[in-house]
Structure 1
Amino acid sequence: MQPDSPQARDYVLIQDLAADDRPREKAMRNGIKTLSKAELIAIIFGNGIKGKSVLTMSQELLARNDGRLSTLARKSIKELVKENPGIGPAKAIALVAAIELGMRCRDESPTERPRITGSKSVYSLIRNKLELLNHEEFWVIVLTRSNHVLDMFRLSQGGTAGTVVDSKLLFKKVVECGDVAASIVLAHNHPSGTLKPSVEDDRLTAKIKEGGKLLDLQVLDHIIVTHESYYSYNDEGRL
């Protein structure tokens, strides 16, 4: 076997692939949805490095991240460069930008205000803002009497283990939404992946619920989001 033959290498060069299996040609022929994760990343990267094709680089990148795009999306630009030989700032920025663009596309608000019908609809609305973060954020969704979303805002941002929530500021911002604000839903994330609420989560939920009563403002739910699922206080009968 020749040292430079495809069978002797532990990587695959784009030119070794049949023309119909090359990512760009495949996308043109069959549509972008037919491409694998590695092929999509290869198109974003554009080219490989000496002795290694862009497709192989993409496959190795996925392998280092359990084959999950959600794991990749949690990486910073600096982490991508540091952890992946051959991937410099330009490739890392291109990948992060592509992921961010996809998330923004999925997160665009419809023309009509969405209506909250339960915890699943809350999760669908808020997950893009919380599920991939490496730090905690606390969000508030303000609803009308018909449970249509009037406003939603980030109240605070913290570290990996918690964030400080100012309930006075929360109610101030809700009151600024006007008399049509009838109820709120609380949401925050656990970067650790733990779905179980903490003692502090319980205390905060109770405190905001009691404060809302003074303003005739009902707390409908408190959602805890992780990168894979969510926890609902209301579904668990804790509101």
Structure 2
Amino acid sequence: MEKISIKNWAEDDRPREKLLSNGAFVLSNAELLAILINNGTKEASAVDLSKALLNACNNSIHQLSKLSVKEILYLKIKGIGPAKAVAIVAALELATRRDLEDKHKVKIASSRDIAAFLQAKLQYLQHEVFAIVLLNNYNNVIHFEIISKGGITGTVADPRIILKKALQHNTTGIILSHNHPSGNLHPSSADKDITQKIKMAVTALDIKLLDHIIVSDMGYFSFADEGVL
């Protein structure tokens, strides 16, 4: 099928030229995606393909950010193949990492600070993970790591691995975290049990367990704020 490159569009319809002339902020989400897609098909422009992709995601960049390459291809949008899907996923991952990098620069002073840091990294995942954030004496993040991965409904955290990581990085404070892809922010009995088990273990090493944060795209739950730490 013949492909029509952006350079062959009418000048007013070229998102690249609009970006160069007026800045990225004037472009719609579809136009920004069209730059990544680069070309359309004989029947549909790159913007048309972008609109179709956004429509499949309820016109939400947030929802699109959750999709893998395979999941984008599963949408079966004619004209969006593996190369275009890879470009889209890579661009959105860069945006997520930029957000996370910005959060690294912020000193952790409250549950809101650490929740923002963690949401930037975990809220787009569709499987559950268990992660740790290690802090120094000044409550600055010195290390973040996903310890284990699970399915949609759960994961397992090994206290021995967490203790090893804490000692390796000479941390004085640790924050536990996991995501709930379902959006439900309430901790389960298992969540509470593992929190207490890890708290006992790190306390013996004179390391403070500062919080356990559950995150989702609906918000966050802080064990410390809710008095269940």
| TM-score under structure 2 length normalisation | 0.89
2: CA distance, partners of 1:128 / 1:78: 22
The equivalent position to 1:93 in structure 2, one of 53, 68, 86, is 86
2: CA distance, partners of 1:212 / 1:52: 58
1: CA distance, partners of 2:161 / 2:36: 42
Question: Where does 1:1-239 land on structure 2 (aligned, <5 Å)?
Answer: 19-86=11-78, 87-108=80-101, 114-178=106-170, 181-239=171-229
Q: Does the CA-based 8 Å contact 1:135-1:160 persist in structure 2?
A: yes
- For the aligned residue pairs, the C-alpha RMSD in angstroms reads 2.3
1: CA distance, partners of 2:89 / 2:172: 38
1:132 Cα deviation (Å)? 0.6
1:4 alignment counterpart: none
1:151 Cα deviation (Å)? 2.1
1:21 Cα deviation (Å)? 4.6
2: CA distance, partners of 1:103 / 1:24: 23
Residues 130-172 of structure 1, C-alpha deviations (whole Å, 9 max, x = no match)? 1111111111111222222232222111111111111122112
Query: Which sections of structure 1, spanning at least 5 residues, go unmatched?
Result: 1-13
Query: Which sections of structure 2, spanning at least 5 residues, go unmatched?
Result: 1-5
| TM-score under structure 1 length normalisation | 0.85
Q: Does the CA-based 8 Å contact 2:15-2:35 persist in structure 1?
A: yes
Residues 65-88 of structure 1, C-alpha deviations (whole Å, 9 max, x = no match)? 111111111111112112132111
2: CA distance, partners of 1:203 / 1:103: 31
Aligned length: 224
- Larger Rg, first or second structure (1 or 2): 1
Q: Does the CA-based 8 Å contact 2:97-2:121 persist in structure 1?
A: no
Provide closer, same or farther for how the CA distance between residues 60 and 201 of structure 1 changes in structure 2, counting only shifts above 3 A.
same
Tell me which amino acid in the other structure corresponds to 1:36: S
1: CA distance, partners of 2:168 / 2:63: 38
1: CA distance, partners of 2:56 / 2:215: 25
1:5 alignment counterpart: none
Q: Does the CA-based 8 Å contact 1:77-1:92 persist in structure 2?
A: yes
Percentage of matched positions with identical amino acids: 42
